[in-house]
Amino acid sequence: MNIAIIGPNCAGKTTCAKRIAKEFGLLRFSLGQMIKDSIRNHTLLGLMAHPYVTRGNFVPDEVANAALEEKVSANTEARGFVFDGFPCTLYQAVYMIDLLHRHSMNLNGVIFMKVSPDTTFERAFARKSTDEQIEKTPESIAVRINNYKNVAESILRLFAHSTSFLAIDTENPSESVYDEVRAFIKGVENNTFVPPPVDAIEKEIDQFLASYRLTEKTPVSCPLNLVIMGPPGCGKGTHSAFLSEYLSVPTLSTGNLFREHLKDKTPLGAIAGAFINKGRLVPDDVTAAIVKKRLNESDAMHGFILDGFPRTVPQADALDIILTASSRTLDGVIYLNVSDEEILFRTAGRRFCPKCQSTYHIQYNKPAKEGICDKDGTKLIIREDDKEETVKDRLQAYRRQTLPVIEHYRQRGLLQEIIANAEVDVVRNRMFESTRSIIRRKHREPLNMK
């Protein structure tokens, strides 16, 4: 006999699975426990899984399925299995059913333990952590909740139509919950379980999906994966710095990344430098490789702000590939829309510190001492990029290359456009409101059921 227990985080799946395994003589399979043990022991599985678990993401299906196959294939003589919190995705579910069939076994029943996202939050931080290697943060819990929301419907409907299915509310855990589970398993084992009508199960699933969302009583300080876009001189660097502090995530400027690679004489810097020294644009694949390296550093794993990338549609496609490879997605794009006349006025007064890369303006953001960087005392310069003819050329290139990217993100529903022909404080407040809108959309909107 094989039983799967599925549901959101902290629904009580593991507690129930351990009791089932002991009472019914089943072998417990817990992918979560295997991963924790592997991380603790620094095995290959642990090294592969750690970045995903830290961010609250599912490990790749291939990794999960390989672990399942190893466990099942090595224990074909077992009386049966209780799958603790597995499967997590539809692909894992289909793979598990096929694997059991290949070993002349069936999935006899599924127990769906329901709990709300708010309860998941409450329980997650009430429990004592036993795994110091896995950082638990509000952000990672929120990611887990939203990941579950994205995959729940397909798995629930598959099992509701293909095997004996019990949905049970565990908001208020008690002995009666396990009594109901025990009765279900005995009924499945003795072929006496009478399932409710499929329509009733479907209605229960619909109700769960419609209500499964975070509410305002759950605090979510949410690092985001953002792109800041706009013409040269629109204030991306200035406003990215404010937003970086507000969200506690790093700002990644492609200009700074190029300079760092050139300074450190890295292989990527050498390739980029060969184009920069000739006054040519760095190819998209080189730029993407430099951005990928930075995005995969530890401080960017829990959120980032990209300034200056992507500039072209191929770069936007490359960013999707980079993020997908590490189970991340782009949460939003903030577009600072500024007129050409305002850009020319702003860049004419901009001053730059060649040592620390700080930017000043003779009217909007003056240094304490004229012409001198506040941070390190270096003499400020006018960058070649800020000269009028250069700016006009850059604006033409921007319209040709980057406006299509803005439309690309607008069509995907990711774009937040801000009219940025205004004082710094006004634009900053508009950016904060756009950011809060992205947070609400990411964490608090109901599941969009199609």
Active site amino acids: 236, 311, 350, 383, 394
d(CA 419, CA 422): 8
Q: How many CB atoms lie within 10 A of CB 179?
A: 10
CB 303 within 8 A of CB 245: no
d(CA 4, CA 109): 6
Place of tokens 């409907």: 157
State the DSSP H helix or E strand holding residue 306, giving kind and residue range, or none if neither: strand 304-307
User: Nearest CA to 374 among 364, 360, 362, 385?
Assistant: 360
User: Nearest CA to 113 among 177, 176, 174?
Assistant: 177
- Residues forming a β-bridge with 114: 169
Please give the DSSP secondary-structure letter assigned to residue 380: P
| Residues 6+ positions from 164 with CB-CB distance below 8 Å | 108, 109, 110, 184, 187, 188, 193, 195
Angle, helices 284-295 vs 254-264, to 10°: value is: 90
| Residues 6+ positions from 81 with CB-CB distance below 8 Å | 2, 3, 26, 27, 28, 29, 71, 72, 75
d(CA 337, CA 332): 16
CB 227 within 8 A of CB 333: yes
User: Nearest CA to 330 among 237, 409, 389?
Assistant: 409
Chain center to CA of 321: 13
Chain center to CA of 251: 17
Cis peptide before 314 (omega within 30 of 0): no
Q: How many CA atoms lie within 13 A of 198 on its CB side?
A: 8
d(CA 81, CA 151): 23
| Residues 6+ positions from 37 with CB-CB distance below 8 Å | 46
d(CA 352, CA 389): 18
Please give the DSSP secondary-structure letter assigned to residue 386: G
